[in-house]
A and B are shown apart, each in its own frame.
Chain A
Amino acid sequence: MALVSVFYLIGLLIAMLFFYGVPSDYKRWVLVFFSALFIGLFNFASLFLLLLSSTITFFAASKIRAKKWVFWAMMTFHIVCLFGLKYLFVPENSLGDVAHFQQTATIVFLGVSFYTLQNIGYLLAIYRGQSEPSTDFIAFFTFHAFFPKIASGPIESYDVFGRSLETIGETRFSTANLIYGIQRIALGFFKKMVLADRLAPLVANVYGLESPATGLTLWVGICLFTLQLYFDFSGYMDIVLGSARLFNIRLSENFNRPLSATSISELWRKWHITLIAWLTQFIYYPIVYRMRKHNRVGVLFATAVVFILSGYWHGVGLTFLVWAVWNMLCLWYEILTKKTRVKWSKNTPQWIYRPLSIFITFNVFSLGLLFFRSASIADGLLLLKGVFTGAFLPQSFLNDFVYLLGMGGTQEHLFNFYSTTLFCMGFLLLEKNIYGLFYSEKISSLSLVVLVVLICMFGIFEAGSNFIYLQF
C-alpha cells in the first residue's frame, strides 16, 4: 500500500478509531492486526518472513549468552536474510532496474533490510550485556512490524521503541498528538507530491542522457537529484513519524536538515540518521576500539568498512560501490585535515566560511549521488564528461539553461521548471521555520490551509507509490 494515497489515509483513520475505541488490553492487538494487514496486502511472503524472523529471534535471545553457537546461528540467519534474500528471488534483469531507478524491481520481502538490522542490533546488545531480552512477544513483533515504519524505517532499538510498546495499552487520546500527526503528514505529502515528484521528470531527463545540456546546466540538473532524494525520503519519514504520533508513538528522527551541513561528516550525522547510528554503534566503534592503539589507521579502516557495507546495503551494483568509496574518501580527507579546517574556520569570518562550506559540501555530496543515481558507471562518467564539455557557463540563460532543464521549453514544462525550483529553494531557505510551524503540537491553521491548497494545485497525484527508498 502506498503511503501517499487516500487508501492509506482512510486505513490510518480506521486504525486510529479502533485503537482509541477498544479497551486498554486490546490496543496492542489493533496495532498487530493493522500492521499484519498492511504487510499482508503487500504480499504474504513478507508477512511470513517477518513472523519467522521475529519468532526465532525472540526465543533465541534468552539463550545467546549461554550458548555461543545460538548467537552465531542467529547472526548467520540474519545476514543471509539481509544480503541473500534481498536479492535471491529478484529476477536478474530487474536488478539492473534497481540501479536504473525505474522502480520496477520486485520487492519480495517488504522491509527486510530494515528489521534485520533491528534484530542484529537487538541480539548484539543482549550478547554484550547492554540490554535484557524482551519477555513480551507482541511488543517485539510490533517493534518490527508497526505499519508506518515497516517499509523504510526508521531503524529503532528495542530498548527505546520496543519497551514503549509494552505499555501501549495505557495510551490516552490527546489532541496535541492529533495536531502534530496531521501537520507532519501534510508536510510529508507536500514534500513528496509538490517537491520530489515535480523534480522527478527533470532529473530523469538528465540521467536518462536525453538532455543535450552541458557545463553548468548539466551540473545543476545532476544536483537536482540530491534535492529529489532528500525531499522524497524525508517526506516519507514525515508521513511515518506523523502517523506514529497519532498512536502516541514517538519514532526516531532520520533527518536533521542535512543540506545545511558544513562538512560531509556533519552531513552524514544528519542524513539517514538511524542507519548511520546503527552502523556507528555496531560496526564502526567495535573496530575502532579494537584498533585504538593504531590511532588513525583504525579510524580510517572503520570508516571504509562502514561505507562499503552501507553501499552494499543500498544495492549490489558497482555504482553504489563508487558512491560509497567517494564518501569514504571525503571522510578520510576530513579526518586527516580536521586541525587545518578548525583553524580555517576560526580565522575566516563566519558569513563567508559557513555559506561557502555548505555550498562545497552540497556539491561534493551531489557528485557522489551522481553515481548512486546513474544506470552504470559508464553513464555516470559520461554525465561527468558532459559537465566539462563546451563552455561551462550557458551563453543564453533561456536557451541554454531554462529550456534545456525544462525539457524543451513548452509552456507546461517551463511552468513546472520555474514553480519547482522556486518551491524547492524557498523550502530550503525557510526549512527551519517551516519545521517550527509543522512539527508542532500547536495548530497553525493558515499554514496548513496554504499547504493543502499548494498540494491540490501543484501536487503530482499519479506517482504516489514510487518512493525511492522502498527499494532498499
Chain B
Amino acid sequence: MKQTIFEEVEQIFRTIFEDDSLKIRMDLTADEVAMWDSLTHLALISEIENHFGITISFIQLMAFKNVGDLIDCVEKNLLTKTN
C-alpha cells in the first residue's frame, strides 16, 4: 500500500511543482526543492486531500518533517477511513 501511495504522491508533487522529472524520497525536505514554500506546501496538502479523499489535521500538518512523515500520515488516514 505504501508503495502505491508513494507513487501517487510523487505524481502530485510533479503536478504542483510543474516538474515531470521530480523524484521524491522518504527523507526529502522542503529545503531541497527550490519551489517548495508555504504556498506550494498548502497546494500540495490540498491536492493530496482531494486525491485520497482524506482530511489532514492541523496537528498532523505541523508535525511533518519530510516526505516520509507525509506518506505515513496519508497511510494512517486511509486506514482509519477504511476501518
Contacts and interface: CB of A to CB of B under 8 A. Distances in A.
A298 B41 CA distance: 12
B59 A289 contact: no
Given A281-B62, A285-B62, A295 B43 contact: yes
Contact of B42 (A128, A299, A342): A299
Interface stretch (B2-10, B30-38, B65-73): B30-38
Interface in A250-305: 265, 281, 284-286, 288-289, 292-293, 295-296, 298-299
Interface residues of B, number: 14
A289 B61 contact: yes
A130 B37 CA distance: 23
A265 B39 CA distance: 13
A454 to B, nearest CB: 37
A261 to B, nearest CB: 15
A91 B1 CA distance: 66
- Max count, chain B CB within 10 A of own CB: residue among A265, A281, A339, A342: A339
B38 A128 contact: no
B59 A129 contact: yes
**Main secondary structure on B side of the interface with A:** helix
Contacts of B43: 295
A335 B62 contact: no
Contacts of B35: 338-339, 342
A64 B37 CA distance: 33
A295 B37 contact: no
A292 B56 CA distance: 11
Interface string A325-367: 0000000000100110010010000000000000000000000
B29 interface: no
Nearest to B45: A292
Given A128-B59, A129-B59, A299 B46 contact: no
Interface string B46-71: 10000000000011011000000000
Nearest to A291: B42
A289 B42 contact: yes
Nearest to A286: B58
Contacts of B42: 288-289, 292, 295, 298-299
Given A293-B46, A295-B46, A338 B39 contact: yes
A299 B38 CA distance: 8
Contacts of A130: 59, 62
Measured as residues with beta carbon below 8 angstroms from the partner, the interface class of chain A is 20 to 34
Nearest to A265: B37
A300 B35 CA distance: 17
Contacts of A289: 42, 58, 61
B39 A335 contact: yes
A299 B45 CA distance: 14
Interface string A125-138: 00011100000000
Interface string A118-158: 00000000001110000000000000000000000000000
Nearest to A129: B59
Nearest to A293: B46
A296 B37 CA distance: 12
B34 A292 contact: no
Contacts of A281: 62
Contacts of B18: 339
Contacts of B62: 130, 281, 285
Given A292-B45, A292-B46, A293-B46, A128 B39 contact: no
A288 B37 CA distance: 12
B34 A342 contact: yes
A298 B38 CA distance: 10
26 contacts: A128-B58, A129-B59, A130-B59, A130-B62, A265-B37, A281-B62, A285-B38, A285-B61, A285-B62, A286-B58, A288-B38, A288-B42, A289-B58, A289-B61, A292-B42, A293-B46, A295-B39, A295-B43, A296-B39, A299-B38, A299-B39, A335-B37, A335-B39, A338-B37, A339-B35, A342-B34
Interface of A: 128-130, 265, 281, 284-286, 288-289, 292-293, 295-296, 298-299, 335, 338-339, 342, 345
Given A292-B42, A338-B39, 4 more contacts: A285-B61, A299-B38, A335-B37, A345-B34
The list of the 6 closest CB pairs from A to B, nearest first, reads A292-B42, A292-B46, A299-B39, A342-B34, A289-B58, A288-B42
Interface of B: 18, 34-35, 37-39, 42-43, 45-46, 58-59, 61-62
